[in-house]
Chain A
Amino acid sequence: MNKNHRVPSNRSLSAVEVKSKFGAEFRRFSLDRSKPGRFDEFYGLLQHVHRIPNVELLVGYADVHGDLLPINNDDNYHKAITTASPLLRLFLQRKEEADYTTFGTDSLTRKKNTVLSAVLLRPDTNRKKTPVIISLPRDFRPVSSIIDVDILPETHRRVRLYKHGQEKPLGFYIRDGSSVRVTPQGLEKVPGIFISRMVPGGLAESTGLLAVNDEVLEVNGIEVAGKSLDQVTDMMIANSHNLIITVKPANQRNNVVRSGGGGGASGSSGRSSDSGASYYGYSSQGGVAAAVSMPSHIIQNFPVGELESDEEDEDLVIEAGGEAEPIRRAPSNYSMPTLPRYEPHLNLRNANARRSLEEDGTVITL
């Protein structure tokens, strides 16, 4: 089971004491910090110790700041274990809301979803609108990431848009055009596909990773050279639930500079938005500059990056991707450890969070 879990050894208390509360009942037990196992085993263990084998649970824990954070996948489970000092306090709740099956980062539920049940994937509409407390894990989902920075030429950018369960439209248009290539014979004009328009408020625009006049080079790993506009359209739509576009940005000034040093800043910005207008970015320290409506504003002149988002009127989005990708180890599932935090803490904990991420070696994915 615990074959290749990368667990930090610096905080090496061998055992983690766990206090688990369900309703009025408490259970206490301990876990091996170096071998925490996987989340679903842990989940089973909880059900076992509480003798509630068939009850669906929401698992939360109190982090160092006293916030209640969810545990719903391996990554935040590991995070909870590693940050527990020394006691890990758990709070269990019944999963009462029927809409919990909503697709999210919850790997447990995800597994139950087959393609067939995609009917269920339609996010349920009455969930949002409550002025949200950032808490429940299902509200956190990666919306975009820059990937493969290490293997792509610096002039290119590979962007992943996570459409799953989003209410937002992808929100961009493509067109035919021509680009200039350098060939042994000199410059040559070749036909190409370009982003022609962004829909305000759409996913593409909100990520700021794509901009008008960016040239589309690949769609989910398949080169578009030689393909017609309609073909590329069809390919993008066919991959729309998990679209990976490699572009050559029209604005080359914001390219990732790889030499910037391995582990870079990661920015995750969570943005809540009760009503819109506000967006939050890290304005201070080496954070990510987030741009909202003008894609050309995005500056990512430091290693990595990405991230940022927009205001959206109902949904909370926490971008997970915000991790550098020093070396990609196992391409883990993209359901990334989201780091749910309350807004006020963001800046405070930024460095902290970053360090621990690095320690964890959690990776973004692809």
Chain B
Amino acid sequence: MMKFRFRRQGTDPQREKIKQELFAFNKTVEHGFPHQPSALAFDPKLQLMAIGTKSGAIKVYGAPGVEFTGLHKDTTAVTQIHFLPGQGRLLSLLDDNTIYLWELVAGAPREVVTLLHFLHPLLLLSATRVTVLLLLRSCDLLCIGTEGGGVYFLELPRLTLKDSQTLGEVLDSEAFLPDDYRCGKSLGPVESLQEHPQQPGKILIGYSRGLVVLWDLSTRQVEQLFLGKQQLESLVWERSGNLFVSSHNDGGYSVWTVTNGNTCNQQPVSSTIPYGPFPCKAINKILWRTTQTGSPVLLYSGGMPRASYGDRHCLTIQQDKEHVTLDFTSRVIDFFTVHSIEQEKEFDEPSALVVLLEEELVVIDLQNPGWPSLPTPYLAPLHSSAITCSFHISSVPPKLWERLVNAGKAQQGRQHAHGSWPICGGKNLAPPPKQQELLLTGHEDGTVRFWDASGVALTPLYKLGTANVFHTDCDPCDDPQDPSNDPDMQQEEEWPPFRKVGCFDPYSDDPRLGIQKISLCKYSNKLVVAGTAGQVIVLGLSDERSDHMVDVSVVDLLQDREGFTWKGHDRLEPRLKPAPFPPGFQPLVLVQCLPPASVTAVALHAEWNLISFGTSHGFGLFDYHRRNAVLARCTLHPNDSLAMEGPLSRVKSLKKSLRQSFRRIRKSRVSGKKRTITTPTSKVQEANAALAEQEDVAPVQRRIEPRSADDSLSGVVRCLCFADTFLRDGTHHGPTLWAGTNSGSVYAYALEVPGVGSGRACERGGAGESSVCVEAVLGKEIQLMHRAPVVSICVLDGRGKPLPDPYEASQDLAIAPDMTNAHSVLIASEEQLKVFSLPKVSAKTKFKLTAHEGCRVRKVALVAFSSTAQEDYSEHTLVCLTNLGDMHLFNIPALRPQVRYDCIRKEDISGIASCVFTKNGQGFYLISPSEYERFSLSAKVITEPLCSVQLDRPLEPTPALQGSPPLACCSRSLCGFLPLTGQTEEPPSALSSPILDTPLDSPLSCADLTLDSTGELTVEDVRDFLTTVDEAENNLKNIKEEEGRSTGILIN
């Protein structure tokens, strides 16, 4: 009994060394769009853009391939980010009223000083909440506007309070202010702080009540007063400093002139409510950019007529007569323009507008007429429709790559201008990828997107829609494919002149279109996609546009089993008339399973022209060359009635329920258009969701019962695989098909494919190949005793290596499999890994993972790991991702555990469910609906950012920090950042080495942290100003307590 103990390989030092050369776990890059962005900033000098998120992450992007990540220790929303231009430093203001200073360092961005706890959270006074930050151009002073109306000044980079300069009381005492602008004693929250563009030291302070003050820092006097009539939202200077623009709560904006000698300005030069006269929503932010050609460009978000378009997320660009209302599908977080910043230039000359939306980033080219949008080379909204599955192909042949790129260009050409990407800071130092990698994502709306996953920036290549194979309620051809065509026509009649921008579209026309499984043969360019309504589509790549009919076949998987009625959705209606298919992948054959349950597994063998597909009812084999169904096999257990209830039964399908909850979240987030399509499944979904929630509430108690054949959904086909191996006897090998089900059954069929295989098949095939059909004969039926779902089946050759992909052997693209020694089959169930010899199917080796570790196998892949030390040495390894989110690596066929890594949080069920592995030891999983985390298990194959940025400052620690230990970095990529000023300056070793030693995400990295005296002083100083005496004492007490506990607490 004790032999169950985790088998341990003797600590053979030789083997340990090899393992180190093969395996290493790193999370390398996050692909996609940051989840829940909350702040945006741009450094015009370095051309870097920073995005902060609600979870406290800061991501900095430059040219494609240049990216850095920092993570605040708290998961507090980042509300504002301000760059210190040219320095590679930035300030972040968090929702909890703390300000952090970050800087880019060799290795990674890291926190330098974290300023004040503005106040202890418990003592937060409404009067002291930070509302705005202004960093003076000189970068030595930070102005902080607060809710209480006070403005405070901090010296940078030490972040110490300049107590001599606090503004608030001064103004409060200004007797001549009308009482309207007072809020009790003070002036109300500060809404905006803007520095005079020409005269440093003069700042414009806008209060929420509409009062705007021009303040001179050097004389400490009010230079001018502007008495706005409306509640203020934002302020912006014109470049010359002669006028500024304020935007207001009522949807209007006002232009004010700044003329010397006039201390109190009652009236703006002009005041406009662009979308009036009916009540409008506030203009949250306004920008005023001058151009050489004449009229300034005015950009503002919001301001829509409240009643008719109050729910739209809009941004208006206006210049002269030209007026475009960009209509987004998600909320506008912030925006900026890329424009000339050189002081001597007279005009702004904006070249691009960058808009951060809640779900995507949109860039508008302001230089080309019509203001077209630019394709983004990174930050792609992966989730423009919810991701339902993914598939990875490594070493894509150049020919296929080229054709895909061309097909993608043809698609994009219609939509996007070919302007250059405006954010181009930093330099990507990563060598060009040795091989091209494709990531395919299947989406809820029936599209498959092809991404270039070769490098750090995940770029869209090509998008394939499958909806046009079907006849759907809203025919895709009726839809305006090209949003830029329509607005031109609409411009005349519609006001405001809306233009749909962006590609985030969470609404699926028909949930049945959703893609569930994808398989691509990179040599024959055949693609199989399978979806929610049992549709399996075989597509071929074509460079020409084509109008053709798609052949349709229906395969009944129930096979006359009686007593079942399908209560789920109907199958999709195939399109009856020929449809136009653009260049790219074009559908050839459509196979529809009956009942139309969601496809749960597909396999493609392009060399044999066969596809196989499985649902919760059974599996089928289809010859797409001859267009005939070869086999349909029902896997239903007679007692399993739940399988018939529809796509979502009550059975715990966490993957699905999670996806649903994501959908729910999204629905609630994206306010506005309500979708009330009542599909037959939506009621079932609701009921299931309700049920799932009930389950959550139930007391935590688990039933201990072995799985039985009666368990529901036991017939779900979990995996399918084709293999050329020995099934009938040990001397003749031939094509086989393997299928594994949810209840631990494995079916192995011997196939006779004309012209393929040794022995009999050939002889028969010789008679008349064209007339002969593919035949399938059941060879073996295996029932795993523990009845756990079969996750994966894979045939190993005589040397214990996985069989090569179709065409690889016949085209000499891979080492031919060993067909002389006995083959074996590796069957991975949720509980056990097992290798059986073939053809006898007797167990050779096994590993009972669940019995030992209490975890269940979720994903399995056979991966070739190459060694860092020896060029030509590689090992095939079985990688298992378990329900606890850890990776177990086993050698094959001995199934000895090699290493184990914690990878995904075990609570992150959707992350675990979404994980895909590459063939060379990398992988992807979703960390949010919109982001893939890329990780590497291989010591050799790692894709991570490698870039440099030219900075103005020497790469020295900030003076404030000297003498104090460097603070730990919060970055994921340790070597992602190279010395900034390039090769001339060595990074001080004191700075770089501790960082490299710090383990990633280690709790120690916070604990080590000691705060230098500067920080403490700062806190005390601030306290004096912002709190009463009692509070100050409390504060002090708190701080002392905190110090007693941990030195690092002030940073939190």
Contacts and interface: CB of A to CB of B under 8 A. Distances in A.
B1040 interface: no
Interface string A99-112: 00000000000000
B8 interface: no
B418 interface: no
B707, B832, B853 interface centre (most CB from chain A within 10 Å): B853
Contacts of A227: 854
A238 B784 contact: no
Contacts of A204: 704
A233 to B, nearest CB: 4
A221 B4 CA distance: 7
Interface in A205-230: 220-222, 224, 227-230
Given A116-B783, A231-B884, A237 B841 contact: no
Contacts of A239: 851
B699 interface: yes
Given A197-B701, A220-B4, A238 B841 contact: no
A176 interface: yes
Contact of B705 (A170, A175, A234, A244): A170
Contacts of B928: none
B850 interface: yes
Nearest to A119: B783
A196 B701 CA distance: 7
B852 interface: yes
Interface in B848-871: 848, 850-856
A163 B706 contact: yes
A241 interface: yes
Interface string B669-707: 000000000000000000000000000000111111111
Interface string B5-16: 100000000000
Contacts of B703: 172-173
Contact of A237 (B1, B705, B843): B705
A114 B786 contact: no
Contact of B706 (A115, A222, A228, A237): A237
* Residues of A contacting B: mostly: mixed
Interface string B955-982: 0000000000000000000000000000
B782 interface: yes
Nearest to A169: B705
A366 B2 CA distance: 11
B831 interface: yes
B785 A229 contact: no
B709 interface: yes
A220 B704 contact: no
A350 interface: no
A62 interface: no
Given A174-B701, A174-B704, A240-B705, A366 B1 contact: yes
A142 to B, nearest CB: 16
B741 to A, nearest CB: 13
B842 interface: yes
A122 interface: yes
Nearest to B832: A238
A118 B783 contact: yes
Interface string A167-200: 0011111111000000000000000000011000
A197 B851 CA distance: 22
B704 A244 contact: no
A353 interface: no
Contacts of A235: 850-854
Given A220-B1, A222-B852, A235-B854, A175 B785 contact: no
A177 to B, nearest CB: 10
Given A231-B854, A231-B855, A366-B1, A173 B702 contact: yes
Contacts of B705: 169-171, 237, 240
B850 A115 contact: no
Interface residues of A, number: 42
B702 A229 contact: yes
Nearest to B850: A238
A214 to B, nearest CB: 13
Contacts of B704: 170, 172-174, 204, 233, 236-237, 240, 243
Interface in A96-152: 114-119, 121-122
A159 interface: no
B706 A170 contact: yes
Contact of B702 (A118, A230, A243, A366): A230
A238 B851 contact: yes
A117, A197, A230 interface centre (most CB from chain B within 10 Å): A230
Contacts of A117: 783
Interface string B767-790: 000000000000001111110100
A102 to B, nearest CB: 15
Contacts of B707: 237, 240
A59 interface: no
A244 B701 CA distance: 20
Interface in B820-848: 831-832, 841-843, 848
Nearest to B831: A238
B546 to A, nearest CB: 49
Interface in A321-347: none
A234 B856 contact: yes
A172 B783 CA distance: 26
Given A173-B701, A174-B702, A229-B700, A238 B786 contact: yes
B707 to A, nearest CB: 7
B790 to A, nearest CB: 13
A232 interface: yes
Q: Which 4 A-B pairs have the closest CB atoms?
A: A231-B854, A240-B706, A238-B850, A118-B785
6 contacts: A172-B704, A175-B702, A237-B707, A240-B704, A244-B1, A366-B1
Given A220-B4, A237-B707, A238-B848, 7 more contacts: A122-B709, A170-B705, A170-B706, A224-B854, A229-B702, A234-B883, A236-B704
